[in-house]
Amino acid sequence: MDPASQDINLNSPNKGLNVDRSDNLADVQVEGAAGSPAHPLPPGLTVEEAEELHIELIKVEEEINTLRQVLSAKERHASELKRKLGLSPLNELKQNITKSWQDVQTSQAYQSASATLEDIAQSEAYKKTQETLSEAGQKTSAAFNTLGTAISRRLGDMRNSPTFKSFEDKVGNLKHKVVGPRGNGDTVSSPTDTTPTQENPPF
């Protein structure tokens, strides 16, 4: 098998197969070629000029591909140098953000906005608004404190009222009737009771 006739492209479906390269490709119409029936020549352009332009286009496209390969190799080399220097993409991003923030802070627009905000903060209207909001907050806080004190006092009065005490006694009596003397945590054991009491029942 002649190595020149083998397809050496590793991604080719014809890899390793014999490819007959004896065909003359000069007669094959290339899509987009100058003067082909699908793409007639622009007016005022001869076939020779079109062929020259087509050849030049092929050369330029080859140069572009070469430059892409060179750029890719340079980027890989730069990445390797950064790795050796201990510069990670995260560190680069942090440096870029820091530099960008410094650029923003030194920009004319940012300084103008900062000066405007300082002017607003120093204005009489801003100071009056701030004082009004502060007073409103203090009054609201005092009102809530007064309300809390009033509710606490009212609940204390209610608890000391005869109606509440009567209700409390009735609930205590009911509890004593339902639970018995064990309700207060006292354990009463009968002398005839032989089963030990469980501290933690299963339910």
Residue in 36, 5, 38, 46 with CA at minimum distance from that of residue 23? 5
pTM of the model: 0.30
Q: In this structure, are residues 10 and 3 in contact, taking their beta carbons and an 8 Å threshold?
A: no
Cβ-based neighbours of 7, under 8 Å, separated by 6 or more: 14, 15, 16, 17, 19
User: pLDDT, tens digit, for every residue of 117-147?
Assistant: 777 777 787 778 888 888 888 888 888 888 8
Of the chain, the end-to-end C-alpha distance in Å amounts to: 87
Mind listing the pLDDT tens digit for each residue in 24-39?
Answer: 444 444 444 445 556 7
Q: Residue 63 — pLDDT band, cuts 50, 70, 90?
A: very high
